[in-house]
Amino acid sequence: MELSMFNVNHGFCEAVARGLRSGFLGPEDYRRMGTSDSLEDMRSALEETDYGTFLQDEPSPLLVSTISKKCYEKLADEFRYLKAQTVEPLTTFMDFIAREKMIDNVCMIIQGALNNKAPAELQEKVHPLGVFDGMKVIMSETFDVQGGFDDVYRIFLVDTPIGSYFEEYLKVADMEKDEMPRAGVETSQVGGILTKQDLEIMKATLKKAWLEDFHNFVQGIGGTTAEVMGHMLKMEADFRVLLVTLNALNTNLSTEAKLQDRNSLYPSFGYLYPEGTRELRKVWNETTVRAALEPYSKYLHLFDQVKQFYESETSGEGRNMQPGFQSIEDL
């Protein structure tokens, strides 16, 4: 029954997606690129693929940063074209995909503002998939962040779908342990709150809220979407739990006084939730992490693969560690 009306609403979008998928580079394309002696040779190797035109207007010498930027722009253009053909609930589904990159862009802009950098200087670091209307104002040469966060905060809340996540974060940020969440936040308070916060924790908090919201959305749709995308989001939630746990090892976030801050970053769903998450909330070192992951052989094996990377990072040997050490993001 679910497929009986599928083509009416989603047939063209599926055809576009299949067409884009057929344009992925194959083994022969990678072989040709692997034999390239320069970036110009690589551009030539791509000429007969779907990537043949995205670098044709770029002057020589070609830079790695240029290739990276043009790849992201190509992805964003194709994503927006596909989204323009959609109807609900697929439109909102694709909105959720873009929200993750919006969070990255917002946190990057805030970091720049705290460091007294003009947003226009950060243009190269902006992910095109996370661009929203208000960013055109923020990224203009005339925009001044020195006057405070009033305009930035207002743009984030009004022009982005992640405004609700950001607002909820500000309500609980910088609270005492037993203090009640704020009913609301005045724009004049935002700068003072953000100046005191760890922006990596803020980003993790926003992404947790996004993940939980996305998961609730796909479960509400039901059917194949809930089954397939629900599985992917549960894996992403588990990844974030492991990422937070491993990054917190041997830092003050693993001390008893800060465990609550670390544990608040764990999503409230996933294959680890609730039993595995409950055990991971208690961990503070490698031994306790291994014990908590014992019932989850796949994740235990993953931890064994990456633990040397995190040991090197915390000991200050990250830059000099042996090749082959990988983080959980790499795997």
- Reply yes or no on whether the pLDDT at 325 is more than 60: no
Q: Given pLDDT bands bounded at 50, 70 and 90, which one contains residue 327?
A: low
Amino acid at 297: S
Q: Mean per-residue pLDDT for 304-313?
A: 74
Residue 138 near residue 119, CB atoms below 8 Å: yes
| Alpha-carbon distances of 44 from 54, 247, 283, 315, rounded to whole Å | 12, 41, 52, 44
Per-residue pLDDT band at 259 (split at 50, 70, 90) = confident
- Residue 91 banded pLDDT, cuts 50, 70, 90: very high
Per the confidence metrics, is the pTM higher than 0.95? no
Is residue 231 predicted with pLDDT exceeding 50? yes
Mean pLDDT over all residues of the chain?
84
Residue 77 or 315, more confident: 77
Residue 15 has pLDDT above 60, yes or no: yes
Residue 223 pLDDT exceeds 60:
yes
Predicted pLDDT at 174: 61
Residue 274, preceding bond cis, omega within 30 degrees? yes
**Which of 284, 301, 283, 275 minimizes the C-alpha distance to 250?**
284
| DSSP at 132 | -
Query: If we measure between CA atoms, which residue out of 122, 91, 118 comes closest to residue 104?
Result: 122
Q: How confident is the model at residue 330 (pLDDT cuts 50, 70, 90)?
A: low
Residue 57: the pLDDT is 87
Q: Closest Cα to residue 284, out of 240, 257, 242, 254?
A: 254
pLDDT above 70: residue 33:
yes
Least confident of 41-50, 254-263, 286-295: 254-263
Nearest to 86 by CA among 172, 9, 161, 180: 9
Provide the token pair at 231: 């599985």
What pLDDT is attached to residue 216?
Answer: 97
pLDDT the model gives residue 318: 47
- Using only C-alpha atoms, the chain has a radius of gyration, in whole angstroms, of 22
10 Å CB burial of residue 286 (0-12, 13-18, 19+) is middle
- pLDDT at residue 320 in the model: 47
